[in-house]
Amino acid sequence: MIDPVILQQGSDWRAQAEVFDEIFFIFLALGTLVGTIVVAYTLWNVYKYRDDGSEPKEDFDAPVVGELPTGQGGPKAKKLFLSFGLSAIVVISLVVYAYGILLYVEEGPDTADESDIEILVEGYQFGWEYEYPNGHTTTGEMVVPADHRVNLDVTSRDVWHNFGSSELRIKSDAIPGETSEVWFSVSSEEVEAQGGEATYRVECFELCGAGHSAMTGQITVLPQDEWEEWYAGTQSENTSNIETTSAGNAPSVDNAIIRGAPT
Ligand SMILES: [Cu+2]
């Protein structure tokens, strides 16, 4: 069903979590560096130009309120243009870098399309229903294979919801009558590291009613072969050990809350 060669390429993809962690680290590091320089330079000037009771030097060219401290091309002008220039370089580099890397987050890795898993996610008050390509549906728990790009088409049955998993760094509006797309991929190394089955908490990120806080779910990532076995079992009705429900048959609020409760 799925080409193992294509699967192998998948392990080189970068997960959104890695990308966002990198962006966070670079902004934190640069922010700390620039902040340290600015604060240190300020303190140094406070010390250097402190009032020590002596008479001011006559040739001291003090800044004047309401005037740019450019001097006449003197040392102050150099400082001004140096600080503007360095700031511009830092800011422009960050914009270009962040924009480029966020395009990857938006588009995702290039894949051979047949290896992608397409899942329809439908939010309802108060839970999540997932529909797989073969028409099988689960509620609460989404089961996907490792090393594949998983494309989610997110929509809602009733009011505005927002589907997301903090650990996977994915988040997408769930709006009635509209579909928003988001993708994710979990490597088999990560699945192994989590003991042969990786799980991620899913939450609703849009206040949608009384049961909003209980509107949780789970993404379970299985190794390729285990997932194929599970998926094959879903082809025939009700053979899966995952709770199933037919589309359009919305579970009651009470049931959803019980299911969403931590176990
Ligand atoms: Cu919701």
In tens, the pLDDT along 162-186 reads 999 999 999 999 999 999 999 998 8
C-alpha 186 – ligand 1 centre gap (Å): 25
**Are 238 and 244 within 8 A, CB to CB?**
yes
pTM for this one? 0.68
Ion ligand 1 neighbours (CB, 5 A) are 161, 204, 208, 215
Domains of the chain: 16-107 (no CATH), 116-260 (2.60.40.420)
C-alpha 147 – ligand 1 centre gap (Å): 29
Reported as a single tens digit per residue, the pLDDT across 114-144 is 778 899 999 999 999 999 998 888 998 999 9
Query: Is the confidence at residue 106, as pLDDT, over 90?
Result: no
CA angle 251, 256, 257 (to 5 degrees): 150
C-alpha 123 – ligand 1 centre gap (Å): 7
C-alpha 124 – ligand 1 centre gap (Å): 7
**CA dist., res. 225 & res. 154, Å (int):** 26
β-partners of residue 165 are 170
Return the pLDDT at 58: 65
Of the spans 18-22, 45-49, 172-176, which averages the highest pLDDT?
172-176
C-alpha 235 – ligand 1 centre gap (Å): 29
Return the pLDDT at 71: 58
Closest to 18 in 3D by CA, of 135, 132, 185: 185
